Amino acid sequence: MTRWWWVRHGPTHQKSFCGWRDVPADLSDTAMIARLNAYLPDDAVVVSSDLIRAVATADTLGRTRLDHARDIREFDFGIWDGMHFTEVEKRDPVLSRSYWENPGDIRAPKGESWNDVAERVAPWVEKMNRDHAGRNIIAVAHFGTILTQVRQAMGCSAYDAMAHPIDNLSVSDMSWDGTWRMGTINHVA
């Protein structure tokens, strides 16, 4: 059985959409990082998104590192990236509401839809399941990326998956042995 430990990167303190913008994580809460490290399996391989907030978070885990994975980046929010939620709502009132209420094929302007992200992440996860079968894999990624995997493991709709919080430095675990099994979602150590 392959066990996945999806870790959301450290907080960025952004008050706006933050997708592919490369902003740093605040990793000053060393006690919380120590608790996270103690919770995660020692024998795991670690991989992260290539965005610096995920890379820096993964660096704090001190385990065998794999190459950064562009495929597990956050949603590309297109022109919404960097905009406050109220600005997005004002600019695109119908689209922004539909984006969250009907996740699937609806895209942010010049960005990605839920399905785009799920289709980007799925082949990478399948390859990791083959290449690291029977291992523990810690993947440091982003809110949206992790939720695509929660949806996959639970077999639920994207809308239902989005009901789950994914806090910074939280762990959502799942296992693969030919079938997905969901473990804990949003565990904060």
pLDDT tens-digit series, residues 98-112: 999 999 999 999 999
- Under 8 Å CB-to-CB from 160, ≥6 apart: which residues? 151, 154
| The predicted structure's pLDDT at residue 114 | 96
Identify the pLDDT of residue 48: 98
| H helices present in the chain, as ranges | 30-39, 52-59, 85-91, 93-101, 114-131, 143-154, 158-161
pLDDT at residue 13 in the model? 95
Whole-number pLDDT of residue 3: 98
| Sole residue written with tokens 């059985």 | 1
pLDDT at 77: 98
Q: Determine if residue 122 is left, alpha or beta; phi over 0 gives left, psi from -120 to 50 gives alpha, anything else beta.
A: alpha
With bands split at pLDDT 50, 70 and 90, how would you rate the model's confidence at 133? very high
The per-residue pLDDT of the chain, averaged, comes to: 97
Asked whether the beta carbons of 142 and 9 are under 8 A apart, the reply is yes
Residue of 9, 22, 20 lying closest to 48 (CA atoms): 9
Q: How many residues belong to the chain?
A: 189
Q: What is the SS3 assignment for 45?
A: strand
Q: What is the mean pLDDT of residues 152-165?
A: 96
The fold for domain 2-182 equals Rossmann fold (3.40.50)
Angle subtended at Cα 165 by Cα 162 and Cα 171, rounded to the nearest 5 degrees? 115
39-98 tens-digit pLDDT? 999 999 999 999 999 999 999 998 989 999 999 999 999 999 999 999 999 999 999 999
Question: How many C-alpha atoms does 68 have within 13 Å on its Cβ side?
Answer: 13
- Write down the pTM of the prediction: 0.96
How would DSSP label each residue in 85-135? HHHHHHHSHHHHHHHHHS-SS---TTS--HHHHHHHHHHHHHHHHHHTTTS
